[in-house]
Amino acid sequence: MGTGFLWTERSISVSAALLRQTSRVGVSLSSREEDDSAPGITEVHLAKKAHLFLFFFLTRGFAKMNAGCVILACTLLVGASSGSKAGQPLKPPCRPGFSQNFYTVIVSRDVLHGQSILKVKFEDCQRNREVGFVSSDPNFSVRPDGTVYAEQEVANLSEPVQFMVTARGLHDPHIWETTVKLALAGHPHPLPFTKIFSIIHYHFHWRVLVIKFLRKHQRGSSASGLRRQKRDWVIPPINVPENSRGPFPHMLVRIRSDQDKDVGIRYSITGAGADQPPSGIYNIDPISGNMFVTQPLDREERASFHLRAHAVDMNGNQVENPIDLYIYVIDMNDNRPEFQNQVYNGSVAEGSKPGSSVMQVTATDSDDSTTANGMVRYRILSQTPHSPIPNMFTINSETGDIVTVAAGLDREKVSQYTIIVQATDMEGNLNFGLSNTATALISVTDINDNPPELTVRTFSGEVPENKVNVVVTNLTVVDRDQPHSPNWNAVYRIVSGDPSGHFTIRTNPITNEGMLTVIKPVDFEMNRAFMLTVVVSNQAHLASGIQSSLQSTAGVTISVQDVNEPPVFPVNPKMIRFEEGVPAGTTLIVFAAQDPDHFIHQTVRYSKLSDPANWLKINRTNGQITTMALLDRESIYVKNNVYEATFLAFDNGSPQASGTGTLQIYLIDVNDNAPVLIPREAQVCERARPNSRINITASDADVDPNVGPFVFELPSFPASVRRNWTISRLSGDYAQLRLRIPYLEAGVYEIPIIVSDSGNPPLSNRSVIRVKVCPCDDNGDCSATGAVAAAGLGTGAIIAILICIIILLSMVLLFVVWMKRREKERQAKPLLIDPEDDVRDNILKYDEEGGGEEDQDYDLSQLQQPESLDHIINKPTGVRRVDERPVIAESQYPVRPSLPHPGDIGDFINDGLRAADNDPTAPPYDSLLVFDYEGSGSTAGSVSSLNSTSSGDQDYDYLNDWGPRFKKLADLYGGGDDD
């Protein structure tokens, strides 16, 4: 692959006019051989900041490679060699390479080992090059003469085979490639070159380009001495194919300076891909200026590189200005189209017209979308099922839109289609392109094209009278539309036969059946049967062009069953009015019920169901209601002047039926309650003030007109009431009580007041109000002292209480002082004996208890019950049983004389101690004790035995010399002699 343009081996001379034109833009072209190491390398002298018109044109012309550009480029080449004469026709230049860029051979499906396929022709322009051929397919090889043969047997070929043949010079870096396609006999295959750019993309190989810095004196003017134009030179891009197999490093271009013959030049490149990430892809020989690519490129990772070439002398000084190099990675078809999803879900309504859009599938190709490598085309491989036709859908090859082709979609026949869609790049060319597949699931959505149909034309049922929410019958229906959708859900209507609205039809959401239900009670005595007409439809309207079925209408016959109906009170509840205070035994009303069963003669009886105050009774036969107590409107059982009682009427039918009636008695108020004074307590200042008044009112349980206005007055007895107090009426319901005298001693006073209502006749009540008279502050409020005084505690009582408290505190203090003094006297009293003789045993606590016994085993028989008392008696003192009380006679302790000598008290105590030490019956008795576990970590071992007589290396005999006080300790550690 090369740099994007082609130069021939011969010299190229252009006409004088073209030279003059190119001289203005600073172009110097020659084809002299530079050295033997790089034959055929063409130099291009580039003047910086000048626009290389012809070079750019040739580069772009061959890169596009269409017929027009080829012809236009050829017309610019007016001379074929330096020795050609003006006006002579150009001889086509010789170009090393394969004679064809693409070979197509038709072969059979079975290819034998060593079988020759074809011979590729390579032209070296009489250079006598040594060229080697390599095949990209391991199943095929190429002989030195260009014959392609089968390396191994290939059996049963199913698809055409395509591979590359590469020619490489053995002594130079040139590489040429051609494509070989083996087409199967009888297999359709397209023309090898339908697009000319595909030839360029794969098979054009360019000569190595030399990019040369112009000398400084050439940058000022052109060869003709004309003034240069101030333009930047445009270096043509270098095109490198991706996924090249090498060998690497592979030379791309050569960078040279005009001063390389005068001074030593060192070349370098910088930029992404050279010294910047991803670094190491390109490098340059610092001496020769040869630029190489070191590894295969991937256009999908990076499509282009921008490098800068530098030329410096041996001292590092810049010799030339940097040159910008643009490297473009040529795309290869190395990526398959990838669908965004492996499974696509779409839907289309049944009955859709041809051309209806269903869904869209999308596949992307990582290759260059501007070339055929990235141009994806779609097609449908298969459709399942094939009903009603195998090709119900088609796909737009460019957009991936799937549409219907024909009519006839019916969800009731086919509810889902499975379509395999293939995406192929290379514009859908199956021979050259790469493909991928995805699955499209197309669901046929339901429309209401099937009206519901009742299974029978007539339904029947029975219903008992006076029953509600009873299902009479179920109406069954058939609908072929999608279940549990608006197109399937049934809606039932009663169009005739039920003018009173006794029935309704509810839809069962699971079975879609219509449940004919009674919502108003039916009466056998009025209607013994009903004839209904029912129509069924769907929640959704029928699709256009679909008519309702005759099966959507049916008749329903309903029979009413006679049952024993309960007696009914004509007026329920029944309201009557009476004055309260009606005496017991008064007849209020005859509360009778009627039996609705006219065709059956039955007897009605009555009973009381609810009578909260137990004021009423009812006659069992005729329903007459009589009072049993005085009716009181002020009772807690009366609400809003109404007393309510319920009664039961039942017949003697089978089964027995009963009905309930409610009697409401409105009680008219009479003046039977005297008013009561409010408030019952108050307080007032001891000295009369303008605001020292008590507002009073009254409460009456009766209602108007037997309540206010009230009359308030003070009684004439006792006389002190009217002498000290006065009362004045404020309104019909309120009055004020205040002091008549300027000063009244503090205290509590009970003042009687007579209150009368306005009833006919009026009722009066003598009520007492408790008034606290107290001293007040400047604001007219009772002070704390005054409040206490008003409560009945005088100054003397308060002083007496304080004195009692002081006396109690003094007694407690004296008791504490006496206890402290007694404690000090007890501590100062001398002891009875000399402290030096007062020898006492103490339990000492040691942190270290030793390492324990050497032998942890011990004899449990030492703790067992002795066989006889003689054994205990005959044992030495060091070994005896002390864990229980012995049965022998207790020892006799010495008795102190009645008048002991003061000096004998010590002897007496010592004698008693010795006797106690030798007494085997003296308590306390030894026993097995259980000690709590106190945790691990102690350096001492477990105390497993208190008797270590089995250990021969321990001698505790010296304990016997300590005296009788330590005899028990000696017995425990001495062990005895009879073990």
Output the CA torsion sign for 124, 126, 129, 131: positive
DSSP letter at 87?
T
Residue 47 exposed, middle or buried by CB count within 10 Å (0-12, 13-18, 19+): buried
Please state the φ and ψ torsions of residue 654, each to the nearest 5 degrees. Answer: -130, 110
Query: Letter for the amino acid at 705?
Result: P
Determine how β-strand 238-241 pairs with β-strand 318-330: parallel
556 Ramachandran zone, left/alpha/beta (phi>0; psi -120 to 50): beta
For the range 862-866, what are the long-range contacts, defined as Cβ-Cβ under 8 Å and sequence gap of 24 or more? 862/947, 863/928
Write down the pLDDT at residue 938.
56
Contact criterion met (CB below 8 Å) for 513 and 476: yes
Write down the pLDDT at residue 231.
37
Q: How far apart are CA 93 and CA 70, in angstroms?
A: 15
Question: Bridge-partner residues for 318, per DSSP?
Answer: 312
* Rg, Å, the chain Cα set: 65
Write down the pLDDT at residue 416.
94
SS3 string of 656-687?
A: CCEEEEEEEEEEECCCCCCCEEECCEEEEECE
Neighbours of 680 (CB within 10 A): 11
Residue 142 exposed, middle or buried by CB count within 10 Å (0-12, 13-18, 19+): buried
Question: Bridge-partner residues for 770, per DSSP?
Answer: 681, 750
Write down the pLDDT at residue 30.
34
Residues comprising the chain, all counted? 979
**Structural domains of the chain, with CATH:** 1-92+204-235 (no CATH), 102-195 (2.60.40.60), 237-332 (2.60.40.60), 338-445 (2.60.40.60), 453-561 (2.60.40.60), 574-668 (2.60.40.60), 676-795 (2.60.40.60), 868-974 (no CATH)
Query: Letter for the amino acid at 97?
Result: G
Nearest to 615 by CA among 655, 573, 580, 575: 580
Helices (H), 65-104: 67-76
Write down the pLDDT at residue 81.
34
pLDDT averaged over 10-residue windows placed end to end, the chain, 979 residues = 32 32 34 36 35 35 35 32 40 75 81 82 75 84 88 75 82 79 64 32 44 51 38 65 88 87 90 92 92 92 93 90 91 92 94 93 92 92 93 94 93 93 93 93 92 92 90 93 92 93 94 94 88 93 82 91 85 89 88 81 88 92 90 88 92 84 88 83 82 81 80 84 84 82 85 84 85 82 59 70 92 91 75 52 56 54 48 47 52 56 73 78 58 59 52 69 79 61
Query: Letter for the amino acid at 233?
Result: W
Query: Letter for the amino acid at 176?
Result: W
In 490-563, where do the E strands start and end? 490-496, 503-507, 514-518, 529-538, 553-561
Task: Determine if the pTM surpasses 0.75.
Answer: no
Q: How far apart are CA 482 and CA 587, in angstroms?
A: 72
Neighbours of 168 (CB within 10 A): 16
SS3 string of 430-450?
A: CCCCCEEEEEEEEEEECCCCC
In the three-class reduction of DSSP (H, G, I as helix; E, B as strand; rest coil), residue 68 is classed as helix
Helices (H), 48-96: 53-64, 67-76
